[in-house]
């Protein structure tokens, strides 16, 4: 299974861990078809705090962005969703099979010396870490 490190702000990590947030909104998505094992890197405090399986992606056009279902599933306000998308198509990553680590793990355990701006591929998880990190703009250029 392809593995990904995804950077998420603490307030959104909390919503994911309490199962309130069922979809993560991103400006890009992986090229390959899933499912993906996604390691959650919590920004600010640092550390990999858990993981989930992303088994589906949904592209969302600007006109669909503020539907009640999307706002509920992402836990975003209407204004947060509009500001983030900036009039462009975004992608929802479905969150399944959540695992909350009892102790955060360092990025170095995954072969990373810095957190990805958005997300990056990580091969081998903690064992054999090779990586391909990219920003949203670089990933979007590949699509």
Q: Are 3 and 109 in contact (CB under 8 A)?
A: no
Range of the domain at 23: 2-142
Q: Which CATH number fits the domain that encloses residue 120? A: 2.30.130.30
Cβ neighbourhood burial of 79 (10 Å; 0-12, 13-18, 19+): exposed
Query: What mean pLDDT comes out for the span 88-115?
Result: 95
Task: Please write the tens of the pLDDT for every residue from 124-135.
Answer: 554 433 444 444
Work out the angle at residue 52's Cα, subtended by the Cα atoms of residues 3 and 101, and round it to the nearest 5 degrees.
Answer: 105
pTM over 0.75: yes
Q: How far apart are CA 37 and CA 108, in angstroms?
A: 18
Total domains in the chain come to: 1
Q: Sort 117 into a burial class: Cβ within 10 Å, 0-12 / 13-18 / 19+.
A: middle
């Amino acid at each position: 299974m392809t593995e990904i490190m995804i950077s998420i702000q603490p307030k959104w990590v909390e919503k994911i861990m309490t199962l309130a947030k069922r979809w993560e909104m991103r400006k890009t998505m992986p090229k390959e078809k899933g499912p993906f094992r996604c390691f959650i890197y919590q920004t600010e405090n640092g550390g990999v705090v858990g993981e989930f399986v992303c088994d589906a992606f949904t592209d969302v056009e600007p006109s669909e962005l503020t539907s009640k279902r999307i706002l509920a599933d992402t836990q975003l306000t209407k204004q947060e969703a509009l500001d983030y998308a900036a009039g462009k198509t975004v992608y929802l990553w479905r969150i399944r099979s959540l695992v909350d680590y009892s102790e955060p793990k360092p990025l170095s355990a995954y072969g990373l010396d810095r957190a990805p701006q958005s997300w990056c591929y990580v091969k081998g998880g903690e064992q054999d870490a090779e990586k391909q990190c990219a920003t949203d703009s670089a990933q979007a250029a590949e699509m």
